[in-house]
Amino acid sequence: MERKLTVPGRFDRLAEICAFVAAAADEAGLDDSTSGRCQLAVDEACTNIIEHGYGGEGKGSIEIVCQPRPGELTISLRDQGREFDPTQAPEPKLDTSVDNMGIGGLGIYFMKQVMDSVTFSRANGTNTLVMVKRGNS
C-alpha cells in the first residue's frame, strides 16, 4: 500500500521523514541494516533539497511517497526547488586525502552506493527523485 507524507522543508523534520521511511521498510520486510540504508539515502536527499533546492529552511515542502512491496521499497521524493539531477553529479575523488577532496559530493555518492536504483526527473517545475532498495542487498 502506498504511503505518503508531505512536510515543510526543514531540518527538524528529517527524523519524522526517516521514521516514515523506516515504517515503510518494515512493511516491505526489509531488515534493519537495509532499512538504515534507505533512511541514510533519504536523509541525504532531503538535506540536499533543503540546502540546495530551496536555498534554506522553510522555503518549500517535500513530498515523500513510499511504495513497499514484499522484499522491495520504492521511495519517491518530490519538491519544487531548483532543478538538480543528482544522478549526474561527478564521482568524488576517493583516492585523495580528505583535505584535498573539496566540499560536497559524498552524500550523493553514498546515496547511489546504498540504493539499488536512483533516478531523477523534472516536469512542470517539480523534481522527482526515485530510489529503490531491494531486500538485503
pLDDT mean over 27-35? 96
Q: What is the signed CA dihedral for 74, 75, 79, 84, rounded to 10 degrees?
A: -80
| Residue 16 pLDDT > 70 | yes
What's the burial of 7, exposed, middle or buried (CB within 10 Å: 0-12/13-18/19+)?
middle
| Residue 53 pLDDT > 70 | yes
pLDDT for the residue 79: 97
Average pLDDT for the chain: 88
**Domain regions of the chain by residue span:** 3-134
pLDDT mean over 10-35? 97
HSE toward the beta carbon, residue 72, CA cutoff 13 A = 7
pLDDT tens, residue by residue, 71-113: 999 999 999 999 877 777 666 555 555 555 444 556 778 888 8
Least confidently predicted of 4-8, 71-75, 110-114, 129-133:
110-114
pLDDT for the residue 9: 97
pLDDT for the residue 84: 78
Separation of alpha carbons 108 and 119, rounded Å: 12
| Residue 29 pLDDT > 90 | yes
Beta carbons of 28 and 1 less than 8 angstroms apart? no
CATH, range 3-134? 3.30.565.10
C-alpha cell at 33: 541494516
pLDDT for the residue 65: 98
Q: Who wins on pLDDT, 23 or 1?
A: 23
